Amino acid sequence: MSLHGDAKCAAVFGLALAILAARAPLRSQEDARDIVKKIDALYRAETSRALVEMTIVTPHWERTLKMRVWSMGMDRTFIRILEPKKESGMATLRVGNEMWNFLPRSNRVMRVPPSMMMGSWMGSDFTNDDLVKEYTFLDSYTFEMIRPEDAVPEELTISCVPREGLPIVWGQVVIAVRASDHMPLREKAYDERGRLAREIHFREVRTFGGRRIPSVMELVPKTKEGHKTVLRYLEAEFNLPVDESVFTLRNLRTRSRP
């Protein structure tokens, strides 16, 4: 996944929100732009390698996947599942806006069609689209500082609305950041009718490879009671050499990668 994914399930994962302190005047559009730019770059790098755990929780079962994630720029992501044994060897490749999955039990590589992009990735609350999207908030949204009714002095909030003509599924994204260092705290995504669709909480800021990032992202869908997906970074490296052969269909069938 581009768990933000790109480191991406990073890609998964990109976001933006900022609200100003309740008693202070709203900041300028330039302040909002600077905050959005910082959020865009938080998990991104020329290259990244990460070890990630993803715990999927439903009212009836819970399971945890451990996986390696590689990314290069904004348009290439490779994910290989390491554990549990049942899913070991399964892999996902994203190049641009195309995506493929490898199923080792059947030894099949399957392209993910556009009609399946909003489908669940590996049974999680993240979608295939979360891994594939290559848009930044800075370039793809208009944004403004807002002050919610429940604003607190320690947080800033920004409302982001997609620019016209882009295939972005959300009608609005609102992200709360820490006022002191603009570290993301929460992201709320609304559908085109203004209904809250999901919420992501960012926690446990840690330093990986000289970069401070929230090491835990908890996604809670608002349309499925009792469901959530928790993504936890165990290791991460940025801007180190990554062989381009990682991001190939041939590599999907390889059971391991250094």
Domain encompassing residue 143: 10-237
**Tokens matching residue 226:** 């009792």
Is residue 44 a part of any domain in this protein?
A: yes
As averages over each run of 10 residues, the pLDDT of the chain (258 residues) reads 43 34 46 85 86 96 96 90 94 92 92 87 88 76 89 91 86 93 94 95 94 95 95 94 94 70
The overall pTM is greater than 0.85: no
Amino acid 20: pLDDT: 29
208-235 burial: b if 16+ Cβ within 10 Å, else e: beebebbbbbbbbbeeeeebbbbbbbee
Question: What does the pLDDT read at residue 134?
Answer: 62
Say if 257 falls within a structural domain.
no
217 lies in some domain: yes
Does a structural domain hold residue 1? no
User: Residue 115's pLDDT is what?
Assistant: 83
Radius of gyration of the chain (CA): 18
Residue 39 domain-assigned (yes or no): yes
Find how far residue 207's CA is from the centre of its chain: 18
CATH code of the domain covering residue 202: 2.50.20.10
pLDDT at 135: 67
Structure-token match 């290559």, residue found: 134
Q: Is the link from the previous residue into 84 a cis peptide, with omega within 30 of 0? A: yes
User: How much is the pLDDT for 83?
Assistant: 95
Question: How many domains does one find in the chain?
Answer: 1
Q: What is the pLDDT of residue 199?
A: 97
Q: Does 253 reside within a domain?
A: no
For residue 188, the tally of other CB atoms under 10 A from its CB is: 20
In a domain, 219, yes or no: yes
Question: Within a domain: residue 256?
Answer: no
